[in-house]
């Protein structure tokens, strides 16, 4: 029996909903009505869109569906972090991590199934690339979890390199921040990148979201050995570009720096990092490394991280040690691998 795959409405922009309305013979204002049902009221069936005529709903239902799919599994950490697993692309699942913290509730979303950047320290990178997520897949992670309405922040720091799937990420940001969408302030959104330079520039030019750059080493050679992407997009060029933007007011810039014992955690390394970032309005997030199988990298001690942070602060570079969350459910940075349970 032939089955038609219906196209999801969730994740569409107002403009795209206008096209859908036209396609289904509805007036243009029906697009706004659909966006309210999708993003404000969050209905689960087209039939619930009661201010559209019955015949319009029927026409719409022929080719379209709402497209919100609940997570198929969840694992809760002892610290309250919850890792959600969604059906993904290429047979690989995708993950989103809910991180409650005092008055904040952050969701870390994925932008790709797997990743093609191949960072040596990352489980997602190891599993290779299995496909780009659509804007619907991204918005679904935000809408389909039980804590959706109480989220305060979204960070694009899950599986994948957001700048390697820029059109879908930009579309998801448009849905998140538009008055007809979820109406969030861009200040609640942070996009992380390894520094794919042209796409990063487009993101900076077309949105107002915060930016986090995964740096991890102040030395190009060393960074290239950890992150092959350094050979294509030099961190020096990334930083030169960032110097052209204003990060002193609405938008914030941060650098992610995972700390590895004996690799990038000496005071000399802190001095080199401070020199590299000199004069930039930014903060450095120092991140504890979570061991992954078959890796010779190990985490720096708390004392070393504290000394490193203090040294950066002495240089006038704001640095903080990021609290580690969800390690027991393999939900921490670099540990996402499309599995609901801890790696065996």
Binding site for ligand SF4 (CB under 6 A): 115, 117-119, 122, 124-125, 159-161, 194, 334
What is the number of the residue whose Cβ is closest to ligand SF4? Answer: 125
214 annotated binding-site participant: yes
Structure tokens at 335: 């540990």
**Rounded least distance, CB 121 to ligand SF4, Å:** 7
Of the pair 26, 337, the CB lying nearest ligand SF4 is at: 337
Inter-CA distances, 99 with 79, 87, 104, 148, 266, Å:
9, 21, 8, 12, 30
Of the pair 170, 292, the CB lying nearest ligand SF4 is at: 292
192 annotated binding-site participant: yes
Of the pair 124, 177, the CB lying nearest ligand SF4 is at: 124
Of the candidates 24, 95, 256, 327, the residue annotated as catalytic is: 95
For CA atoms 201, 203, 208, 214, the dihedral sign is negative
Q: Beta 129-132 vs 112-114: how paired, if at all?
A: antiparallel
Residue 65 is a catalytic residue? no
Which residue, chain included where needed, has tokens 């305060």? 152
CB under 8 Å to 81, separation ≥6 — which residues? 97, 98, 99, 100, 325, 326, 329, 331
Residue 333 is a catalytic residue? yes
CB under 8 Å to 32, separation ≥6 — which residues? 14, 17, 180
**Rounded least distance, CB 36 to ligand SF4, Å:** 35
**Rounded least distance, CB 127 to ligand SF4, Å:** 9
301 annotated binding-site participant: no
- State the Cα–Cα distance between residues 31 and 84, nearest whole angstrom: 31
**Rounded least distance, CB 344 to ligand SF4, Å:** 20
249 annotated binding-site participant: no
226 annotated binding-site participant: no
Which residue, chain included where needed, has tokens 């038609």? 4
- Cα-Cα-Cα-Cα dihedral of 292, 331, 85, 88, to 10°? -50
DSSP state of 260: B
Of the pair 68, 292, the CB lying nearest ligand SF4 is at: 292
Of the candidates 108, 136, 282, 333, the residue annotated as catalytic is: 333
**Rounded least distance, CB 115 to ligand SF4, Å:** 3
Active-site residue set: 95, 333
Residue set of the binding site for S-adenosyl-L-methionine: 160-161, 192, 214-216, 290
Residue set of the binding site: 115, 119, 122, 160-161, 192, 214-216, 290
Residue set of the binding site for [4Fe-4S] cluster: 115, 119, 122
């Amino acid at each position: 029996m032939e089955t038609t795959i219906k196209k999801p409405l969730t994740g569409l922009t107002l403009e795209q909903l206008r096209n859908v309305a036209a396609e289904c013979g509805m007036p243009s204002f029906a697009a706004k009505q659909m966006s309210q049902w999708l993003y404000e009221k969050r209905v689960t069936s087209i039939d619930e869109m009661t201010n559209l005529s019955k015949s319009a709903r029927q026409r719409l239902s022929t080719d379209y569906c709402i497209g919100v799919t609940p997570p198929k599994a969840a694992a809760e950490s002892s610290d309250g972090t919850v890792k959600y697993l969604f059906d993904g692309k290429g047979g690989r699942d995708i993950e989103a991590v809910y991180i409650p913290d005092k008055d904040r509730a952050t969701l870390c979303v994925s932008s790709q199934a797997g990743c093609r950047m191949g960072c040596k320290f990352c489980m997602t990178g190891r599993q290779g690339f299995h496909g780009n997520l659509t804007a619907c897949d991204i918005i679904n992670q935000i809408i389909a979890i039980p804590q959706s309405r109480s989220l305060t922040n979204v960070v694009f720091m899950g599986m994948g390199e957001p700048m390697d799937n820029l059109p879908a990420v930009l579309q998801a940001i448009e849905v998140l921040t538009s008055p007809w969408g979820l109406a969030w302030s861009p200040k609640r959104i942070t996009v992380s990148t390894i520094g794919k330079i042209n796409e990063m520039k487009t993101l900076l030019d077309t949105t107002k979201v915060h930016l986090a750059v995964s740096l991890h080493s102040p030395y190009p050679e060393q960074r290239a050995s950890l992150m092959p992407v350094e050979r294509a997009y030099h961190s020096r060029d990334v930083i030169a570009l960032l110097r052209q933007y204003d990060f002193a007011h609405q938008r914030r810039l941060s650098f992610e720096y995972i700390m590895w014992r004996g690799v990038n955690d000496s005071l000399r390394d802190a001095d080199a990092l401070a020199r590299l970032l000199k004069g930039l309005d930014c903060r450095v997030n120092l991140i504890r490394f979570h061991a992954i199988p078959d890796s010779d990298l190990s985490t720096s001690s708390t004392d070393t991280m504290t000394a490193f942070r203090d040294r950066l602060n002495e240089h006038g570079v704001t640095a903080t040690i990021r609290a580690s969350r969800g390690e027991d459910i393999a939900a921490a940075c670099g540990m996402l691998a499309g599995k609901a349970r801890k790696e065996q």
